[in-house]
């Protein structure tokens, strides 16, 4: 239990806690992107609706991962592992779209 407490204290000493104002701004950004998602869903862009929805969702996920999950303050190895996971996910989603595209 003390190892986790020491790690948390070392993290706060190195970077400092995030202010409530900053976290509120990140939350406001998430709400704005949610409103943009709703607005984009009401506009018929054809195939670009999926691209717009995925782009907005990626921006929201980035805000959550970097600031609420504190990835911004992690070392390069952890960031690299998260990036690798997202690249693999993007490849899987992309191959799914290619498969669906050949069906129609």
If asked whether residues 40 and 62 sit together in one domain, one would say yes
Distance CA 97, CA 103 (A): 10
Tally of domains within the chain: 2
Residue 42 DSSP one-character state: T
Residue 46 DSSP one-character state: T
If asked whether residues 66 and 78 sit together in one domain, one would say no
Domain that holds residue 96: 74-104
The pLDDT-based confidence of 100 (bands split at 50, 70, 90) is: confident
The pLDDT of residue 76 is 93
If asked whether residues 78 and 64 sit together in one domain, one would say no
3-class DSSP state of 16: coil
If asked whether residues 86 and 102 sit together in one domain, one would say yes
Say if residues 94 and 68 touch (Cβ distance below 8 Å).
no
If asked whether residues 65 and 90 sit together in one domain, one would say no
The pLDDT-based confidence of 8 (bands split at 50, 70, 90) is: low
């Amino acid at each position: 239990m003390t190892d986790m407490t020491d790690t948390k204290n070392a993290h706060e000493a190195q970077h400092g806690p995030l202010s409530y104002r900053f976290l509120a701004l990140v939350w406001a950004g998430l709400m704005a992107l949610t409103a943009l998602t709703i607005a984009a869903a009401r506009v018929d862009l054809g195939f670009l609706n999926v691209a717009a929805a995925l782009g907005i969702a990626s921006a929201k996920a980035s805000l959550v991962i970097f600031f609420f999950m504190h990835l911004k303050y992690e070392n390069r190895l952890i960031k690299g592992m998260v990036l690798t996971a997202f690249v693999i996910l993007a490849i899987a989603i992309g191959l799914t779209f290619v498969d669906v595209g050949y069906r129609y």
